[in-house]
């Protein structure tokens, strides 16, 4: 009985109900009292989230069945994407996604890490840091289509000029441009995660190092970074998940070419951008189904990345 009461209000309710309202319950239909209707609604809407996720997964799976049956595992390794001949292989898009996301991550890491160190360690209070923090938050709030639009009109000419200087084919659009845009888009995300992780470092550890005469740089390098390395990695994994799923900005500046890119300046297509470009044009069942299968892959990849990243961060917070 004690445990029941200690579980809080619900426990109290159950206790009261079982004690006093027993006769009432038997005479009334339990599904018509406001009490039980309310509880049923809460339960139902919570269950709804689970149902929603599973139906999303099942829908994707069912719609990609024709393509899975037709191509099997060949879908992942074939490099021919030819809607006219009805031959679909997703390799160019897998490679496109892989290169753009990793390149974006590599570009973003120095910036996001600096930001989290600066905001977390050097300047937590004050006008400049709070301005910086708001700016980063705003950067995260800008819609992706705006990034794409801006990239198309401002960044593409710049990249084209660079390409002319380098002596490669000056497309302007392509993997390099999309990676730059993606990097800008994921910096706020990994920076804010990084800052949160930095705050988990126990003050005692830092103070101990300072009291031994370490400079700030040495404290960051030898105490803080080793402590947060898994958390920061997790933050970057989550940022990678963002980059993989990002659609609009990439679609606008990647140049939409369905062959395997030969250099980082070449136009390409990512999994998300090929869906965005071709889904409304897809006429045959197999075509649609192949695009949905790419969507299914995208769904599973981002899901695995997200769960992995969140688990690492959760583990870290529990340790502290």
Partner 1 sequence: MQRDKFLFRLLKDRLFKTAVSIFSFCSILPLVFILFYITKNGIAVINWQFLTQLPKPVGESGGGISNAIVGTLMLLVVACTLAVPLGISAGIYLAEHKTGKLSYLVRLCVEILHGIPSIVIGIIAYVWIVKPLRTFSAFSGGIALAIMMLPVIVRTAEETLKLIPETLKEASLALGVPYYKTILKVVVPAGLSGLVTGIILSIARVAGETAPLLFTAFGNPFMNLNLFKPVNSLPLLVFNYAASPYPEWHGLAWGASLVLVVFVLLLNFFAKFMTKKWKVRF
The helix (H) or strand (E) run that includes residue 88 is strand 87-88
| Residue 124 sits in the site that holds partner 1 (CB under 8 A) | no
**Minimal distance, residue 37 CB to partner 1, in Å:** 8
Please report, as residue ranges, which positions from 64 to 103 form the binding site for partner 1 (by CB under 8 A). none
Paired residues of 82 in beta bridges: 87
Interior/surface letters 308-318, b for 16+ CB within 10 angstroms, e for the rest: ebeebbeebee
Among 4, 82, 207, 218, binds partner 1 (CB under 8 A): 218
CB of 236: closest distance to partner 1 in angstroms? 15
Q: For partner 1, give the closer residue by CB, 15 or 168.
A: 15
- Do 282 and 88 contact (CB within 8 A), yes or no? no
**254 lines the binding site for partner 1 (CB under 8 A):** no
The reply on whether position 193 binds partner 1 by CB under 8 A is no
Within 152-191, which residues bind partner 1 (CB under 8 A)?
A: 152-154, 184, 187, 191
Tokens 């369905």 belong to 258
- Bridge partners of 88, per DSSP, are 81
The reply on whether position 9 binds partner 1 by CB under 8 A is yes
- Between 263 and 311, name the residue whose CB sits nearer to partner 1: 311
Please identify, using beta-carbon distances, which residue of 18 and 263 lies nearer to partner 1: 18
Phi, psi of 268 (to 5 degrees): -150, -160
Give the Cβ contact number of residue 280 at 10 Å: 6
The answer to the question of residue 210 lying near partner 1 (CB under 8 A) is no
Residue of 4, 10, 77, 285 that binds partner 1 (CB under 8 A): 10
Cβ–Cβ < 8 Å for 167, 184: no
Instruction: Note whether 284 and 86 are within 8 A (CB).
Output: yes
* Alpha-carbon distances of 28 from 10, 16, 21, 31, 33, rounded to whole Å: 21, 17, 10, 8, 8
Per CB under 8 A, contacts with partner 1 among 136-155 are 136-139, 141-150, 152-154
Instruction: Kindly tell me which of 167 and 213 has the beta carbon lying closer to partner 1.
Output: 213
Binding residue for partner 1 (CB under 8 A) from 122, 229, 263, 315?
122
Under the criterion CB under 8 A, does residue 5 sit at the interface with partner 1?
Answer: no
How many whole angstroms separate alpha carbon 292 and alpha carbon 307? 22
| Sign of the alpha-carbon dihedral angle for 185, 269, 68, 287 | positive
At which residue do the structure tokens 């740089």 appear?
A: 217
* 126 is an interface residue for partner 1 by CB under 8 A: no
Question: For partner 1, which residue of 4, 20, 30, 52 counts as binding (CB under 8 A)?
Answer: 52
CB of 167 to partner 1, least distance (A): 27
Q: Is 279 in the site for partner 1 (CB under 8 A)?
A: yes
From candidates 24, 42, 69, 164, binder to partner 1 by CB under 8 A? 42
Indicate whether 107 belongs to the interface with partner 1 (CB under 8 A). no
Please report how close the Cβ of residue 179 comes to partner 1 at its closest, in angstroms. Answer: 14
The answer to whether residues 223 and 209 touch, using CB atoms and an 8 Å cutoff, is: yes
Rounded CA separation 232/229 (Å) = 5
Interface pick for partner 1 out of 23, 27, 262, 280 (rule CB under 8 A): 280
């Amino acid at each position: 009985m004690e445990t029941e009461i200690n579980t809080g209000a619900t426990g109290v309710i159950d206790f009261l109900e079982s004690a006093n309202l027993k006769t009432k319950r038997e005479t009334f239909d339990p599904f018509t009292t406001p009490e039980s209707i309310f509880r049923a609604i809460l339960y139902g809407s919570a269950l709804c989230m689970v149902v929603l996720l599973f139906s999303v997964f099942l829908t994707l799976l069912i719609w990609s069945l024709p393509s899975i049956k037709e191509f099997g595992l060949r879908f992942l390794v074939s490099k021919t994407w030819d809607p006219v001949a009805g031959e679909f292989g997703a390799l160019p898009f897998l490679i496109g996604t892989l290169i753009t996301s990793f390149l974006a991550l590599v570009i973003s890491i120095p910036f996001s890490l600096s930001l989290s160190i600066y905001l977390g360690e050097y300047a937590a209070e004050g006008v400049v840091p709070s301005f910086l923090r708001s700016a980063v938050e705003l950067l995260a709030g800008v819609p992706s289509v705006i990034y794409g639009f801006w990239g198309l009109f401002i960044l593409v000419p710049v990249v084209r000029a660079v390409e002319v200087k380098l002596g490669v084919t000056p497309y302007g659009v392509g993997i390099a441009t999309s990676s730059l845009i993606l990097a800008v888009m994921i910096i706020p995300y990994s920076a804010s995660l990084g800052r949160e992780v930095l705050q988990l470092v126990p003050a005692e550890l830092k103070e101990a190092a300072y009291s031994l005469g370490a400079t700030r740089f040495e404290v960051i390098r030898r105490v803080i970074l080793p402590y947060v390395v898994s958390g920061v990695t997790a933050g970057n994994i989550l940022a990678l998940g963002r980059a993989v799923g990002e659609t609009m900005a990439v679609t606008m500046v990647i140049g939409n070419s369905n062959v395997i890119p030969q250099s980082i300046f070449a136009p390409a297509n990512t999994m998300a951008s090929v869906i965005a470009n071709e889904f409304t044009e897809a006429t045959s069942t197999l075509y649609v189904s192949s695009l949905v299968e790419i969507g299914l892959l995208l769904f599973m990849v981002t899901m695995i990345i997200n769960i992995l990243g969140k688990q690492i961060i959760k583990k870290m917070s529990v340790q502290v």
